[in-house]
Amino acid sequence: MAANEITVVYRWTAKPGKLAELKAIYEQVREEMEANEPGALKMECYFADDAGEVIVHDVFADGKALGFHLGVTAAQHFPKLTEIAVPGPFFFCGDVPTDLRQAAEGMNMGAVFGTHAFGFSRS
């Protein structure tokens, strides 16, 4: 993990009968992030069909890239997502700027923040 990178891992649990719609929204989110967010370094979706969940793993270059994502792509989809699914928890890993942290906490989606302590990476 680069010094400024922020990793976000989170879950949405679909309301009854809404899993297919939830998955379709995340297909759109992936397309939009790939096309319009150069600071989004990685986006991975995992489907836990038996639990009715979508689990997402995003990596952003820095707080500015995370802010763009939250303010543009995520903001566009959030109202529909909250109609069809229950958010959280959301784990933010890295140095999240105070304003973004406060915004995430204010959205009541189970935001948890952790700063980098140690680890390793193999290429």
Which tens digits make up the pLDDT trace of 60-114? Answer: 999 999 999 999 999 999 999 999 999 999 999 999 999 999 999 988 889 999 9
**pLDDT, tens digit, for every residue of 19-63?**
999 999 999 999 999 999 999 999 999 999 999 999 999 999 999
The token duo for 15 is 């309301």
- Angle at which helices 19-36 and 75-84 pack, to 10 degrees? 170
Where along the chain do its domains lie? 6-114
What pLDDT is stored for residue 19 in this prediction? Answer: 97
What pLDDT is stored for residue 108 in this prediction? Answer: 85
Domain 6-114 has CATH 3.30.420.40: no
Q: Which of 113, 95, 121, 122 is nearest to 10 (CA)?
A: 113
**This prediction's pTM:** 0.93
What pLDDT is stored for residue 119 in this prediction? Answer: 87
Exposed / middle / buried, residue 111 (Cβ in 10 Å: 0-12, 13-18, 19+): buried
Going by pLDDT thresholds of 50, 70 and 90, the confidence category of residue 3 is: confident
CA distances from 72 to 47, 61, 65 (A): 24, 16, 11
What pLDDT is stored for residue 1 in this prediction? Answer: 64
- Whose tokens are 């989170």? That residue is 10
What pLDDT is stored for residue 66 in this prediction? Answer: 96
